[in-house]
Amino acid sequence: MKTIKIILLAVAFTFSGVLTASTDPEPTKEALTETISIEIGKLLKNPKFLIEEDMLAKVKVVINEDNELVVLSVQSDDEDLENYIKGRLNYKELSVKLRTGQKAFLVPVRITQKG
């Protein structure tokens, strides 16, 4: 009887170890923001307007169920930059699949002059 209990205990430990090893950990918000920043950087390359000085903006986005960026707001002093960001990002599909659960992300954007 004692050996049956030990065997059942060993099976329980093994089974619980397999279950915890196979779960997919939820990515942190910081990791998601970094991934989204990289994707936004790719989409905002090569602007078609003259950049006289570095331009800054804060972009608030969510990822919809179709894995597309949805721009909620753009905070910038330059209206051309706002329109450029909205036009380049809104409803563009990301190249990586992200499961965000409709969280809003605030991503800083810097457009710089080419050296």
- For the segment 69-81, what is each residue's pLDDT rounded down to a tens digit? 899 999 999 888 8
* In-domain check, residue 18: no
* In-domain check, residue 6: no
| Confidence band for 90, pLDDT divided at 50, 70 and 90 | very high
* In-domain check, residue 56: yes
CATH, residue 72: 3.30.1150
- pLDDT the model gives residue 104: 83
pLDDT digits (tens, 9 = 90+) for 17-71: 655 554 555 667 677 778 888 888 888 888 877 788 888 999 999 888 888 889 9
CA 109/CA 70 separation, integer angstroms = 15
User: Whole domain around residue 33: which residue ranges?
Assistant: 26-111
Q: Model pTM greater than 0.85? A: no
Q: Chain-centre distance of CA 103, in angstroms?
A: 10
